[in-house]
Chains A and B, each alone.
Chain A
Amino acid sequence: MTNALKKLAGAALALSLAAGGAYAQQVLFWSTQARPVEETQKMRDQVLKGFDGPVDYQVAEDGPWLTRLQAELQAGSGTIGVLGGLHGDFSTVGANLVDLSAVDIGQAKVNEVYKKLGMLGTGEQKYLPWMQATFLMAANKQALQYLPAGVDLNKITYDQLIEWAKNIAENTGSPKLGFPAGPKGLKHRFFEGFLYPSYTGSMVTKFRSPEAETAWNKFKELWQYTNPNSTNYAFMQEPLLTGEVWIAFDHVARLADAFNQKPDDFVAFPAPAGPAGRGFMPVVAGVAIPMTSPDVDKAKALVAYMLKPETQIATLKATNFFPVIDVKLPDDMPASVKAFSVAIAAMTGAPDALPALLPMGLGDLGGKFNQIYSDSFERIVLGGEDVHGVLEEQAAALKAIIDQAKAPCWAPDKPSEGACPVE
């Protein structure tokens, strides 16, 4: 009986070793990024080919991604070698990630702000920044002649932007500033990640503060010089190309076409700064290793490989996400990449840089959260309602959403115990 059991156990062990052996060489890279099928294929063929050993790059929607990871963590053993995801994807599983501070990334100089984000408020490097995207300003070169004297585009402030837009409107006879304020536009990201942080240093907590009222009043001022057609815009590259708009704000992916079609006509520059800093919303993706990774050393080697300059450039070509390390881009990059990389470096590296993260921990309430900001815009700016009154009402709705999700604060708001407060 015992003999038979021993034999059985031995056979099982041999089997599992054989199976484990087959998988040991291959690292499973489990990612929420580069999901479009061409991007996934490019990640496999162009980015990960150069790694010493086979990598199985697999992508999943956020939900299934987390479900499988949690299942492996609960089981105490798993097959996922390396994780790829946005900052928000990692925030819920931080305790189960391997400390990466000892990973040797050679000469690569990783963006310090993002590196700190990767610590998730602990003393350990929970994830290493991998790649980034963000929102930028773009201007038609014709607009530059109206730039107020002494203004440095890389250090522009909201007041200077208002003055600039005013100059253009008065001299050309029509407002030429553009916002993606259409139904499919990303205007809510501007209010969440740019306007609010720049004036209040906060996204949620100071939603109805006097500073927030100032921010909305400034935006109303700016709106006077904004093309009224903005409420129909979704991708600002289109009105930029037709010349309807000379200065625009949008996500880099929604500006790229303008720069690629007419490289000599446009300049990209950082988002403006307000009294509280240069608020901007980085979209940071990172790489991490779960505690259950079958081969941690191999996984660490892959993480280090992802941060090598060549890999970062290959990733940029594959996904249009920008490097997070200091790297000189080769000359064969698309015009949009060349223009954006300079502007992004100026924005993220500015002394007053104030990164504001994408909302996290809201789950399926994300849409309602964004609606609070869009509604405030529609009521205050388009509807001309009283700023104070609208903010009071919207703040109550905002508080209800945050309380329902029990979402703790995220940057730039200070970490909170329990749901993020709305003062």
Chain B
Amino acid sequence: MNGKALPYLLLMPATLFLCVFFLYPFALVAFEAVTRDGAFTLDNFRTMAGSWKFPATVRNTLLLAAIVVPIQLAMALLMASVVSRLETGRSAALYIFAIPLGISDLAAGLIWLAIFDQSGFLNTLLSGLGIVDRPIMFLGYQSKLTIFIAVVLAEIWRATAIMMVILVAGMGLIPREYHEAAEVFGASPWKRFVRITLPLLRPSLQTAIILRVILAFEVFAVVAALGGTNLPVLMGETYNWQFTLQDRNVAAASALLILAISIGFTLFFLRVLRVPREARI
């Protein structure tokens, strides 16, 4: 067999799979988003944007991403630095940090619901300590801020580990010589982190951030569990259009909007965190 063709042949099944189960349905969804009863129209996007909930939906989704991702980035960097430095018990620490990754996002939402619920752990604790005399309602419709904070907490708890895993792998790729040389010249740990680790970590940072930002725009189950309809987000509205309102076309339009935002941010981070060819390790 021709050696040159082999890699492509091996990629064939995966490519076919993607075409049939991703590209084809995607084309159908894109088609549905711009048609109604067979005729081309932008009405679906107009209907979506005209809904009274739409501005709040976009605002909530962007705000969530803007708050969750930077916090997670900082925490993931810290955790990754600690884990990389460990001599013993490194894998044990990695596994423990990664436990929330093994839990589905809905289950994660339910765990945090059990904490913040009116008859949940937090209220039991507070009344047990005598701080409150009757349960506080954290997740009611009047306390959108608390709902928001609860969602942020749940999201950080759930998905920081995925960034950490990528960053740990990236840190392992940085040659030790750079650090040793810096140490010889008397650079402080902070300086070594800022001047050596961060710049050399760029490719991993790029991957981690892009992955996390895309996930942030798809946030759904955690919000549904904690906020119900009190905190509308884009993905929740897409679900609503499809299943409650049974309008596939508008649901498709809404899905495309999420895709467009995701692509936009991906391109942005690809550009900002670009690593010049000659600077790659």
Contacts and interface: CB of A to CB of B under 8 A. Distances in A.
A209 interface: no
A371 interface: yes
Given A229-B118, A231-B141, A393-B52, A371 B244 contact: yes
Contact of A174 (B134, B224, B230, B247): B134
Interface residues of B, number: 17
Contacts of A229: 118, 137, 140
A242 interface: yes
A232 interface: yes
B118 A244 contact: yes
Contacts of B245: 367-368, 371
Interface string B223-259: 0100011100000000000001111000000000000
Interface in A175-215: 182-183
Contact of A228 (B140, B224, B229, B244): B140
Contacts of A308: none
Contacts, number: 38
Interface string A221-260: 0000000110110000000001010000000000000000
B247 A368 contact: yes
Given A228-B140, A228-B141, A228-B142, A367 B246 contact: yes
A72 interface: no
B77 interface: no
A393 B50 CA distance: 11
Interface string B124-151: 0000000000100101111000000000
Contacts of A173: 134
A242 B224 CA distance: 23
Interface residues of chain B: helix, strand, loop or mixed (majority): loop
Interface string A121-163: 0000000000000000000000000000000000000000000
B15 interface: no
A382 interface: yes
B228 A368 contact: no
B244 A375 contact: no
Contact of A231 (B52, B230, B244): B230
A231 B119 contact: no
Given A229-B118, A231-B141, A232-B228, 19 more contacts: A173-B134, A183-B224, A183-B229, A228-B137, A228-B142, A229-B140, A231-B140, A231-B228, A232-B139, A232-B140, A244-B118, A367-B244, A367-B246, A368-B245, A368-B247, A371-B244, A371-B245, A375-B52, A382-B141
Interface of B: 52, 118-119, 134, 137, 139-142, 224, 228-230, 244-247
22 contacts: A173-B134, A174-B134, A182-B228, A183-B224, A228-B137, A228-B141, A228-B142, A229-B118, A229-B140, A231-B229, A232-B139, A232-B228, A244-B118, A364-B246, A365-B246, A367-B245, A367-B246, A368-B247, A371-B244, A371-B245, A379-B52, A393-B52
